Amino acid sequence: MAVTSPALAHEASPATAAVRRNRFSFERILSPLLLAPSAVAIFIFVYGFIGYTFFVSLSNWRSAKPDMTIREPFGAVYGDLFGQTRFQIDLRNTVVFTLFFLLMAVLGGLGLAILLDRHIKGSGFFRSVFLFPYALSFITTGVAWSWIFNPETGVNLLINATGVNDILAAYDVGPLNPGWITNPAVVWQLNQPIAAIYPPAGEWSLKLGIPLAMIPVAIAAAWQLSGFAMAMFLAGLGTISHEVREAASLDGASDWRLYKDVIIPLLNPITVSVLIILTHVSLKIFDLVFAMSGKGPGFATDVPGIFVYEMIFRAQRYNYGAAAAIVMLVGVSIVIVPYLARQLKSL
C-alpha cells in the first residue's frame, strides 16, 4: 500500500512514531468511514429491498393489507405466475423486443460511428444531432413516436402523400395502410411446428411468434439509444491507431475488408459492452412502452414492467408483482453478472 511505506521509513524516530501510528490508523479507517454511509445505504435500499421483494413474492400478500405469511406450497406464486397467459406473452414480448432493439440500435450506432469517423465536413454537428435523442426521457420519445406510428395521424399520411396508394389502387390492390402499434397480428407462429414434435403445444394459449406491434416500439427505442451506441463505437474507433489502418491499406485491403476484417473485430470489446448495457435497458423497459402503446392490442406490446406495475398498484396482488419483479431481476442478472465478473477479473 502506498500509505504504509513512508510510515515504515520513519520508524527509526520513536518520538514521532506514536503520532505517525495515530495518523496511520486514522488514515486507514478514513476510507472505510467515508464509504460506510453509501455502503449501508446500498445494503439497505438495494440488497435489503431485493430480499424484501423476494420475501413478498413468496407470501400471501394480495390485498391492501400486508400479509406476510408464506404461501403454501412454497413458491406457489411463481407457479401461478408462469401459468398466466399474460405473463407468458410478456416474456415473449421481451425477447422479441430485445432482439429487434439490439439489432437496430447496434447496427445503427455502428453505422453512424463509421460514417462520422471518416471525418466528413460537419461531423461534429452530426455527432451532437445523433446523440441528442439519448438526452430525452423515454416518456417524451414514447409520446412523440405514438403519434408517428398512429395509423390515423402519422407515417401513414406520409405513405399516402407519396402516391403509392394511388398506384396500388390502379392495380386493384388494397391501400398500403399498416396498423403499426395497433396491429394485433402475431406472425411466424411456432405453435404448429412445435406441436408436431410436442403435441401439448397445440393447446398453448400463448402465440409463440413475433407480435408486429412490438416492432414500431423497438424502432422508437433504437432511435433513442443508437446515439449512445454511436458514442461508444466512436470512442472505440478513436483507439484504433492509424498504423493498423495504414498497414491494412498497404496490404491492399479494400474499405470493406478493412472494416469487416480489421476494425469491427478490434471493436469487439466495445460491442460486448454496448450489447450488455442495451440488453439490460431492454429487459427493464417500462416508460417508453407505457407512453407509446401501453399494453397494445391483445397484449401485443405488454412487457413485464407494466405487468409489475398493474399487479401491485391496480390489482393489489403484491405477491404476483413482486414475483414478476424477481423474474426480471434474474433475467438482468443472467446478462450482467458474467459481464461484471469478466470485467473484475481483467482489472
Binding residues for another protein, rule: CB under 8 A, are: 62-66, 85-86, 146, 150-152, 179, 181-182, 184, 205, 213, 293-300, 310-311, 313-317
Adjacent-strand bridge partners of 268? none
Provide long-range contacts, Cβ within 8 A and 24+ apart, for 131-137: 131/227, 131/228, 131/230, 131/231, 132/227, 133/223, 133/224, 133/225, 133/226, 133/227, 134/224, 134/225, 134/227, 134/228, 134/231, 136/224, 137/287
In angstroms, give the least distance from the CB of 329 to another protein: 21
| Least CB distance to another protein at residue 150 (A) | 5
CA distances from 111 to 115, 123, 158, 219, 268 (A): 6, 13, 26, 16, 15
Helices (H), 43-122: 49-57, 76-83, 85-117
Nearer to another protein, 122 or 174 (CB): 174
Shortest reach from residue 301's CB to another protein, in Å: 9
Alpha-carbon distance of 170 to 164, in angstroms, equals 10
Would you say 110 or 327 has its CB closer to another protein?
327
Q: Which is nearer to another protein, 165 or 273 (CB)?
A: 165
Counted residue by residue, the chain has a size of 347
What the block records as the C-alpha cell of 52 is 424484501
Q: Which is nearer to another protein, 156 or 271 (CB)?
A: 156
Distance in Å, CB of 321 to another protein, minimum: 11
Rounded to the nearest whole angstrom, what is the least distance from the CB of residue 283 to another protein in the complex?
22
Nearer to another protein, 237 or 312 (CB): 312
